[in-house]
Amino acid sequence: MSKALIISSICLALLYASCKNGKSRKPVIRDTSITAVTSFNNLFFDSTRLSAFLKNHSQYENFTAQFHDFYKDRNYAYAWFDSTGLAEQALNFNNLQQNYITSFSDSSIYNPLLDSLLQSIQQNNPKRKPAESQVLETELLLTGQFFQYAAKVYKGSDIDASELGWFIPRKKIDVHALLDSAILYKSAEAYAPQNSQYRRLQEFVQKYSRLSKETGFDSIPALPKSLRKGDSAEVIVTIKKHLELLGDLSSNDGSPTFDTTLVLATKKYQQRMGLTVDGIIGNKMIAELNVPMKQRLRQILINLERLRWMPPEKDTNYILVNIPEFMMHVYDSGKLQFNINVIVGTSANSTVIFNDKLQYIVFSPYWNVPESIVRGEILPGIKKNPNYLAKHNMEIVKSGTVPVIRQNPGGANSLGLVKFLFPNNYNIYFHDTPNRNLFSQSSRSFSHGCIRVGEPKKLAQYLLRTDSSWTSQKIDSAMHLKKEKWVPLKKSIPVFIVYFTAWVDQNGQLNFRKDIYKHDEKMAVKLFR
């Protein structure tokens, strides 16, 4: 490829990648500077042939503009062929597409005509060279398939995410720019979809597809009592078989004895399932082991779909809260710094899935009691006990049929000693809590919708780390004031509140969690109908 064409392609890729969502692009002008001399091959076709192709292949109708723009940029030079025949990038893309179809059992983008043409061309019989019309048909089919593949795998299924409670804006893609990259860089890895989490989770699709056909997963009966190290029972033989197939048990002696190896396997499995990690097998663990592998496979596919919606990964600072995991992950320059246990909303008061920017820390906060709680809890409490407000360190700010009530700062304040604000339409924020004992629970959905933070001081120290005046002592003091103190951050930090029930952790271990808000159930109806 000529240097001029490489530079031109890079500039085009950057141009399209930087386009603002929702804004129309300028019309693409045919680049007549690309000729047989400046291009990497001498294969060109007449523009009228593209229009005829699109007329006969209605499955690519939604990509008509992308087709024309892509080939105008190239002055209608072939992209998938060169003077020697089928180019490397064509084989790379076809392998990528076939792997997707096989791994996900998704034949919706399979094109038998393209498959037949590629097989015929790859036979490379010198006495029967493919006709020019076959080559062009293959060229344009590869482009159309790339557009379909990219739209499906990068963007995801045509689902209204907001119907499923997901309010993080879905990622926008430019299939034209992706195709530029595919042709320019040739390697499939250069434009592999999504982020590192997507790729790590995708690696488990084939394994769980295989496990879903495995015959060794006999149902495990409920236990009359928990099993511990040293116990002996026939059910242990079945449990060991399950853990061996899943990869948690390194070696299976087939005995009914609860030995040290089984303790280690049990702890590993409990960690992956979000259970209490104690090495004791109880009925909660048995329930997880009895989840059918077909259901686990669907769980992986559902979460891969969600990952397609996520914005691209960036090497920046951000906070991510995964609701089913009950965990906050804090990233600095794209690298995980630490995790903090959190408490999220109950199923009746579910925490909203969205993203925003954290802008303020409020030390010693007032709690402005929501009207629903005033009606449902406080007013009935006042009727029973006239000293209810004083007992709970509350005061009426504004009288009325439903008075405006707030709780003053202090150790008993429902928001604890500090809150973290990222102003949003859902009235969701992070805050401390006086009920510290709840963080020891393995399942932590107890709040009215906001997110309670297990280590609020640690989070405050991290957010204020660039300001040397905010010492540990100063933060402690600010958390025990009589009036609240607002501290704006010098630089806001993105916050993502997400919902993933399957993911791969930093140690490469596949994790599953319960579908506490039934979002997976609703999504399964959309994906697997």
Residue 8 to residues 11, 73, 82, Cα–Cα distance (Å): 5, 9, 18
CA–CA separation, 189 vs 152, rounded Å? 17
CA–CA separation, 144 and 148 (whole Å): 6
Q: From the candidates 392, 450, 480, 519, give the one annotated as an active-site residue.
A: 450
Cα distance between residue 2 and residue 7, in whole Å: 9
Tokens 């790729």 locate to 199
Per DSSP, 22 falls in state: T
Widest Cα–Cα separation across the chain? 100
Catalytic residue, chosen from 176, 329, 431, 519, is 431
CA distance readout (Å), 118 to 59, 72, 130, 136, 232: 19, 25, 10, 12, 59
On whether the CB atoms of residues 323 and 351 are closer than 8 A, the answer is yes
State how far the Cα of 219 lies from the Cα of 30, in Å rounded to an integer. 64
d(CA 458, CA 453) in angstroms, rounded, equals: 10
Residue 136's closest CA among 39, 35, 72, 50?
A: 50
Q: Reply yes or no on whether 431 is catalytic.
A: yes
CA distance linking residue 23 with residue 11, whole number of Å: 19
Residue 281: which residues within 8 A CB-CB, separation 6 or more?
Answer: 223, 226, 227, 228, 239, 258, 266
Q: How far apart are CA 44 and CA 113, in angstroms?
A: 22
450 is catalytic: yes
**Which residues are the active-site residues?**
431, 450
